[in-house]
Structure 1
Amino acid sequence: MNSGDLAWVLISAALVWIMTPGLALFYGGLGEKRNLFHTMFVPVLIIGIATVVWFLVGYSIAFGGKGNIMGNFDHLFFNNVSFSKSTKDLTIPDGAFALFQGMFPIITAAIITGSVVGRVRIKALIVFITLWLIVIYAPLAHMVWGNGLLAQLGAIDFAGGTVVHISSGVTGLVLALMIGHRHQDKHLPVRPSYVLIGGALLWIGWFGFNAGSALAANGIAVLALVNTWLASAAALLMWGMVEYLMRKRITLAGITSGGIAGLVVITPAAGFVSPWAAVVMGLIGGVVGFAGITFVKNRFGYDDTLDAFGIHGIGGTVGALLTGVFADQRIGGVAGLLNGNIALLGKQIIAVLFTVVLAALGTFILAKITEMIAAPLRLTPEEEEKGYDILLHDILQ
């Protein structure tokens, strides 16, 4: 075991954890006044749900055994997880690995809520998220990071383009389509300061999210952090430029969202590409992110409340595909299209399509099961109009 690597992974785990309260603030600032506190409440609640699910069964499904689709049940309740040695040829103990990986399902599930918050029943959401973490997230993590089907195919995902962003974004979109439009779907961010504070917490947490995925305090971790820094900055500037060209104004919420869009796009590539490629990916991410929450959303007419699909689903897809273009064998050990290996791009396309189908079909089925177990997914028009801050939290605006 290496004490430096262990310290870095533990710090990174804490950084990834802080992303979820950050997302709560970010979403709260973007959301509706009548659901301000509820919008922040739900991601915090998911910290509890996702953590317990990971401890009980999620980690075992994701990283136990060697199945193509899912692991086994040898590590239920963290059984047989060593806190002093590694069985995965790492320089950190299995317990630290389980801890770090356990932060990812929390933020992934929290992202989903941005698509439907304010019009989905809390009981139904709790049941759905629990099922989704077990049936969708954990097997997908195994297929990508547990040497399962997609890893064997040769697709790469450094820190979660498919596992986190595409899966959560597509899930949010499907739920939004199933639930339907808000009765009043036009609103402005109610707390821009929350957007900035929450975005900043997401941003700093993302350094642990990406650089911590090296699972060691080494050169790849440094590269991933530098690439994350550069891509987010480039995307922020590009978003601001596009917003000004299209709307003749630049907003704080906009450029903060631009930084997040860059973070999403670089996530699958952070340890595989050179810094110049990270800048290019960030610039593309800024354009794609803005287009995702404006042109794409307006063209297809879906109601993705806080743009979980527009930023995470579309951005994660673009990032995964660009990883197949810019991956540099001299840096990350994997050659992409620009290194003469077109095969990687093909594998990335297959991984993206597989993730989209799994998340979409799985979400539809689990939503139907949720309605049978818990309650209708959607609030009544009267309940929606009143808002969850009054309905559940007894807070008067």
Structure 2
Amino acid sequence: MNINSADNVWILVSTALVLLMSIPGLAVFYGGLTRTKSILNTIMMVFTAFGIVSLIWVIYGYSLSFGKDIGGIIGSLDYFLLSGIKLTDPAPSSDNLYHYLFIFFQMTFAAITVALMAGAFIERMKFSAWILVAILWGTFVYFPVAHWIWGGGWLSNVGTLDFAGGLVVHETSGLGALVGALLLGKRKEPIMLPSNLALVAVGTGLLWFGWFGFNGGSALGINQVAVSAAFATTIAAFMGGLTWMFAEWILFKRPTSLGMFTGIIAGLATITPASGFVDLGGALIIGILAGIVCFVAVVYIKNKFGYDDSLDVFGVHGVGGMLGAILLAVFAKKEIGDINGIIYGDFSQLLPQIIGIVAVGIYTVVLTFVIFKMVDAVVGLRVSKDEEIEGLDEKIHGERVVNEPIKL
């Protein structure tokens, strides 16, 4: 048995960091971007999705994602309800780790992926519909795609690489968010300004901090790749934020805090698939390109087509994840991740990356469309116009984020 204590400590810490990204990081980040009257509903969407997907992960999700391969498409149900796994067993996918720890770590990835989509649907989606979407989308989109790339499925055999989730996490959630937003339609009220940018700042910091576990932990041990991935992650993050800020300053004469925060998240999403393959110079360029390309997607493309992806899940995560998967093939360095990219004269990784992006993209779009149509037929997708205008916090949850003091 090759169980390594130091590796297990690092992955347990990384698991906690990824959990922190969602709860409270993502919840606070999204909450601050929402109108005051629907902040709690937005936060509840994140918490609920995380809990539900974690539950189905333990029941059957891990087995479908990392169980014995069936035709390159899906895993078996050998691990249904985590049956047959002992506390002392090493993980089949990484025998330096305890099996339970590997399951726990991967569970946080599945849960945050579904929770990410919530940002596209805020202020207008039925809570019951969101619960059904979380279950169905996790089951029929995330679990198969995770198996294809990380669980020994057909894309791993093609050679598609995704170090920490540019395709598995960000492309799927981004495209799922776009399809869902199109089917839901626009909000009834004009697009709002964030209710609390201080909360957005705190959420950004928590997400950035948690991303050390997201990317650094994906090395599945405390080694040189984990250190390099974490360092590359920070460089791409601040370069994405600075690039976005300067783009706003040049084009609109105002360097906004929201632009800086959004650019940081764009840099983080874009470096994710490449973080364990590129050096610090590659990370710097990836951060700059993330700030430019995601800025164009959010500021220009979204406005041109007029879709209401409320918190820019597609423009930041979807576009960033796909961009990072391509840039992996450009900037990969053999000394770090055992492969060279285009800048080192090796074009061989480009085609597997393109195949992965196209396959995951088509599958996600089609399945998300089917899932949303099914949920709409069962419970309906949207709240009523009155509920939307009055705010979902009171109408759905019977609460308000700030209560007025009692007058004596």
Matched-pair contact (CA < 8 Å) for 1:85–1:93: yes
1:103 pairs, out of 100, 108, 113, with 108
The one-letter amino acid paired with 2:43 is: M
The answer for the alignment partner of 1:63 in structure 2 is 66
Report the CA distance between 1:371 and its aligned residue.
2.3
Structure 1: gaps of 5 or more residues: none
Distance of 2:117 and 2:86 partners within structure 1: 32
- Counterpart pick for 2:376 among 367, 371, 390: 371
* Mapped contact 2:94–2:220 kept (Cα < 8 A): no
Match of 1:241 among 246, 251, 254: 246
Which amino acid is the alignment partner of residue 22 of structure 1?
Answer: G
- The answer to whether residue 79 in structure 2 is matched with residue 75 in structure 1 is yes
Q: Secondary structure at the match of 1:269?
A: coil
Structure 2: how far apart are the matches of 1:29 and 1:88? 38
The Cα shift of 1:89 comes to 4.5
Question: Counterpart in 1 of 2:15?
Answer: 13
Q: Closer, same or farther in 2 for the Cα pair 1:82/1:288, shift >3 Å?
A: farther
What residue in structure 2 maps to residue 274 of structure 1?
Answer: 279
Identify the residue that residue 406 of structure 2 maps to in structure 1.
Answer: none
- Greater shift in the superposed pair: 40-49 or 338-347: 338-347
Counterpart CA distance in 1 for 2:174 and 2:232 is: 23
Report matched runs for 1:166-315 at 5 Å: 166-315=171-320
**Would the aligned equivalents of 2:178 and 2:314 in 1 still touch at CA under 8 Å?**
yes
SS in 2 for 1:82: coil
- Residue identity opposite 2:17 in structure 1: L
For residues 265 and 63 of structure 1, the distance between their equivalents in structure 2, rounded to whole angstroms, comes to: 25
Q: 2:84 is matched by which residue type in structure 1?
A: N
Residues 1:392 and 2:396 aligned together: yes
Q: Deviations over 1:121-159 (max 9, x none)?
A: 110110011011111101100101011111100010000
| Letter of the structure 2 residue corresponding to residue 378 of structure 1 | R
Deviation of residue 174 (structure 1)? 0.2
Percent identity over paired residues: 39
2:44 corresponds to which of 37, 41, 45: 41
- Deviation of 1:45 after TM superposition, in Å, equals 1.3
SS state of the match for residue 75, structure 2?
Answer: coil
Q: Which amino acid letter does the alignment assign opposite residue 384 of structure 2?
A: T
Task: Give, in whole Å, the separation in 1 of the partners of 2:111 and 2:326.
Answer: 25
2:32 corresponds to which of 26, 29, 33: 29
Q: CA deviation at 1:340?
A: 2.2
CA deviation vs aligned residue, 1:206-231 (integer Å, no higher than 9, x gap):
01000000000001100100100111
What's the C-alpha RMSD, in Å, of the aligned pairs?
Answer: 1.1
Q: Give the secondary structure class of the aligned counterpart of 1:95.
A: helix
Distance in 1, matches of 2:231 and 2:156, equals 25
What is the SS of the residue equivalent to 1:392? helix
Amino acid at match of 1:4: A
Q: 1:349 aligns with which of 342, 349, 354?
A: 354
Contact 1:16–1:205 (Cα < 8 Å) also in 2: yes
Distance 1:200 1:106 in 2: 20
Distance 1:35 1:224 in 2: 36
Out of 322, 326, 339, the residue aligned to residue 321 of structure 1 is 326
TM-score norm. by structure 2 comes to: 0.95
1:351-389 per-residue CA deviation (whole Å, 9 max, x = no partner) reads 11111111110001111222233x111122222111111
Runs of 4+ in 1 over 4 A off after TM superposition: none
**Partners of 2:258 and 2:43 in 1: CA distance:** 17
Does the Cα contact within 8 Å between 2:26 and 2:207 map onto a contact in 1? yes
Partner of residue 53 from structure 2, selected from 50, 53, 64: 50
Aligned partners of 2:166, 2:84: CA distance in 1, in Å? 29
Q: Which one of the candidate residues 338, 354, 370 is aligned to 1:333? A: 338
Q: Secondary structure at the match of 1:92?
A: strand
User: Would you say the 8 A contact 2:240–2:287 is kept in 1?
Assistant: yes
1:79-103 CA-partner distances (Å, limit 9, x unpaired) = 1233313233421111111110000
Give unpaired runs (5+ residues) of structure 2: 403-408
Q: Tell me which amino acid in the other structure corresponds to 1:12.
A: S
Contact kept? 2:87, 2:99, Cα under 8 Å:
yes
- Do the aligned residues in 2 keep the contact of 1:70 with 1:139 (CA within 8 Å)? yes
Q: SS at the partner of 1:81? A: coil
More deviation, 239-248/85-94: 85-94
Distance 2:99 2:12 in 1: 12
